[in-house]
Amino acid sequence: MKRDTKRTTIFTRRALLVGGAQLAALGGLAAKLYQVQVIDGSRYTTLAESNRVSSRLISPPRGRLLDRFGVPVAANKLNWRALLIAEQAGDVDATLENFNKLVPIADHERARIDREMRRHRRFIPITVREFLSWNEMASLEVNAPDLPGIVVDVGTTRLYPFGPALAHMIGYVAPPNEADVAQDTMLALPGMRIGRAGLEKFHDKALRGRAGAVQLEVNSVGRVIRELDRQEGVQGQTIQLTIDADLQKTVLDRLGDESASAVVMDCRNGEVLAMASNPSFDPSLFNSGVSQAQWLEWTKNRRAPLINKATSGLYAPGSTFKMVVAMAALESHAITASDTVNCPGYLDFGDRRFACWSKGGHGNMDLHGGLKNSCDVYFYEVARRTGIDRIAAMANRFGLAVPLDIELPGIRKGFMPTRAWRIGQGKAWNIGDTIVSGIGQGYMQLTPLSLATMVSRIATGRAVQPHLTRAIDGELQPGARPEDWPLLGVADRTLHAVRDGMWAVVNEQGGSAPLAKLDLPTMPGVQMAGKTGSAQVHNVTREQREHGYKSENQAWELRPNALFVCFAPYDQPRYAISLVVEHGNAGAAAAAPIARDIMQAVLLRDPVSRREPQRVADAAAPPVKLP
């Protein structure tokens, strides 16, 4: 009996020890399960989900630029591209080597990829190749198991439906550089572009939009099974411009092969309806990268296709400046409109002879006759009586050689000389400089845009500013009404005298620009006022003139620039035009007929009054209705 009791006691102790061990093991297991399922459950869920779900940001569609009728002039189109997510790739070099066997990667592209990998975090997608063809895309999808970290994605790229016709004004986009990404990390997203010129640059931040996100379910080798969730990025704002895209094409067609620029404005409120610079370039090339050969071709072209001549081309205005001289003289009472000057064909002052374009002279000229015949001697004398500082002040008042508030980066304001400027150079201003300034020669340099502003202000008497933005996301911008612009404060009689002289240039018998007269059978009675200009680009000596110098016989780059400015209708001014034909020789022969044809096209089209529905849809976004 004692032996059985002792054996039972030993068994019970062993059972307790075994039971305790089992209980401890079960407790530890329970604790571990609690740790895994409750405490760390969310973390393991996230890890499991991350193996199944690939999340990444997506770049937003860039905002659109529309013309005044809602026609897209800068839109978006679909773009298939290959992205690399280094975090999912493992051996990036091996992945890129396999990729290169299917879709070749150029050396400079591989160098770019390496730079971006060093610059960005490993979860940020890097563009390996853009603009994939259908066959390239299919090849990458079939070989996805050998390309871990490679994702074929569809985004958008910039589309310019009017190509070179609007290149200088619209500008272009290009991939961001390191400095750009440092300022805005969203620019690191694949497909993001930044405005580098024109309105694309000026409105860049408004056009960028906000990034979206997409979640994709993938298998163990990274192949996309399905899209789980997508939050689209917010597209950039829609900018409606003042320009008429079809009118722009008409203007460029009329310029033909000339190296020239033209600006068409609504002279009542400053809206720019067309701004042409010829020759031009294809802005879409900057989106994918300009080749060195193409760049050299552009930069070596003496007609400068990359320069917007309307805003950055600087020219002596020639006789188109005579209206400013006349207004400065009338407003300062240096002359009256009826005062006369005798023109024998030249003006001798000191030991210099200043020639008139008419060797035989014009006889006695008053202001009306001086403008009508573009008599140089008349304006030599008027400038001498008025003085350069009064002339410069009036030029500034009419928008010449002052900053113009237009939405284009890098525009040049031009230059208007004064006595103070000359003294600042350590030299004295002499009366001969004033005399040649009377016909728009000498030191002054002006842009076609400023000349269009000048003639708009002459036509309306208001301080209109040229502008290109009409509405943003449907909201009209300030400056659309004529009354938004203040009066210049110039006497009505002064403006009338100058307008009357400009009318005579085109319409009166003996005027200097008979080829500019309008011919509109459907619009009888509509007349245009204008002024010619022929500006020398190098000095012609008295000896050369006396020995039969003819500018048309000189090399192209030595011939005078041909200019013409005008407004119409004369009795109710609405449209203003400035035109410069580089080395066109004579404004009356080379520029006036072109300006006439452009004005006739503008009046018949009447873009200020007509309305037209949107006709071209954007591949990446629905049409936007604007007023």
> Of 193, 214, 241, at which residue does a domain stop?
241
Q: What is the CA radius of gyration of the chain?
A: 36
Average pLDDT over every residue of 8-18: 67
pLDDT digits (tens, 9 = 90+) for 568-621: 999 999 999 999 999 988 889 999 999 999 999 999 999 988 755 444 444 443
Q: Which domain range does residue 409 map to?
A: 245-281+305-605
pLDDT at position 59 is: 78
Q: Are residues 141 and 216 in the same domain?
A: yes
**Are 178 and 163 in a shared domain?**
yes
Neighbouring-strand partners of residue 533:
563
Q: Give residues with Cβ within 8 angstroms of 471, minimum separation 6.
A: 239, 240, 477, 626, 627
293, part of any domain:
no
Q: What is the pLDDT of residue 6?
A: 58
Task: Kindly state whether residue 624 falls inside one of the protein's structural domains.
Answer: no
Let me know whether 491 and 344 are in one domain.
Answer: yes
Q: Is the peptide bond before 60 cis (omega within 30 degrees of 0)?
A: no
How far apart (Å, rounded) are the C-alpha atoms in residues 123 and 86?
6
List the Cα angle 461/464/465 in 5-degree steps. Answer: 155
Q: Which of 193, 213, 241 is the last residue of a domain?
A: 241
Give the per-residue pLDDT at 129: 84
Residue of 511, 559, 251 lying closest to 368 (CA atoms):
511
Same domain, 431 and 411: yes
Coil, strand or helix at 467: strand
Same domain, 487 and 425: yes
Contact 537, 583 (CB under 8 A): yes
Highest-confidence segment of 34-38, 172-176, 304-308, 339-343: 339-343
Reduced to 3 states, what is the DSSP secondary structure of residue 112?
helix
Residues 185 and 62 in one domain: yes
Residues 276 and 160 grouped into a single domain: no
Is the pLDDT assigned to residue 427 strictly greater than 70?
Answer: yes
- Chain segment 223-281, per-residue pLDDT in tens: 556 767 677 778 899 999 999 999 999 999 999 999 999 999 999 999 999 999 999 99
Query: Per the domain annotation, does 299 fall within a domain?
Result: no
Q: Please give the pLDDT value at position 626.
A: 31
Strands (E), 111-183: 126-129, 150-159, 172-174
Q: What is the β-pairing status of strands 469-472 and 239-241?
A: antiparallel
Instruction: Looking at the structure, tell me whether residues 203 and 324 fall in a common domain.
Output: no
- What pLDDT was estimated at residue 441? 94
Which of the residue ranges 74-78, 225-229, 620-624 has the most confident prediction, judged by mean pLDDT? Answer: 74-78
Q: Considering the domain boundaries, does residue 366 fall inside one?
A: yes
The count of structural domains within the chain is 2
320 close to 563: Cβ distance less than 8 angstroms: yes
Q: Is the pLDDT of residue 538 over 90?
A: no
Instruction: Check whether residue 249 and residue 200 sit in a common domain.
Output: no
| pLDDT of amino acid 623 | 36
613 domain-assigned: no
User: What mean pLDDT do residues 132-147 have?
Assistant: 85
The pLDDT tens digits of the residues spanning 22-32 come to: 777 777 677 76
Position 192 scores a pLDDT of 84
pLDDT at 219: 64
Confidence of residue 508 (pLDDT cuts 50, 70, 90): very high
CB-based burial, 68-83: b 16+ in 10 Å, e otherwise? bbbbbbbbbeebbbbb
As a whole number, the mean pLDDT across the chain is 86
In this structure, of 323-332, 396-405, 430-439, 530-539, the range with the lowest mean pLDDT score is 530-539
Write down the pLDDT at residue 621. Answer: 38
In CATH, what number is assigned to the domain containing residue 598?
3.40.710.10
Whether residues 256 and 206 fall in one domain: no
pLDDT digits (tens, 9 = 90+) for 187-210: 877 778 899 999 999 999 999 988
Is 540 part of a structural domain of the chain? Answer: yes
Name the more confident of 413 and 618: 413
- 235 and 253 assigned to the same domain: no
Per cent of the chain over pLDDT 90 is 53
Q: Vertex 97, ends 95 and 99: CA angle to 5°?
A: 70
Beta-carbon neighbour count of residue 357 at 10 Å? 16
Helix (H, G, I), strand (E, B) or coil at 269: coil
Binned at pLDDT 50, 70 and 90, residue 74 comes out as very high
Q: Is the pLDDT of residue 119 over 70?
A: yes
What average pLDDT does the segment 65-94 reach? 88
Whether 12 maps to a domain, the answer reads no
How would residue 48 be classed by pLDDT, with cut points 50, 70 and 90?
Answer: low
Same domain, 216 and 277: no
Is residue 531 a part of any domain in this protein? yes
The mean per-residue pLDDT over the stretch 347-360 comes to 90
Query: Which pLDDT value is given to residue 627?
Result: 29
CATH number for the domain harbouring residue 110: 3.90.1310.10
Confidence of residue 285 (pLDDT cuts 50, 70, 90): confident
547 class by beta-carbon count within 10 Å (0-12 exposed, 13-18 middle, 19+ buried): exposed
C-alpha span between 533 and 539 (Å, rounded): 16
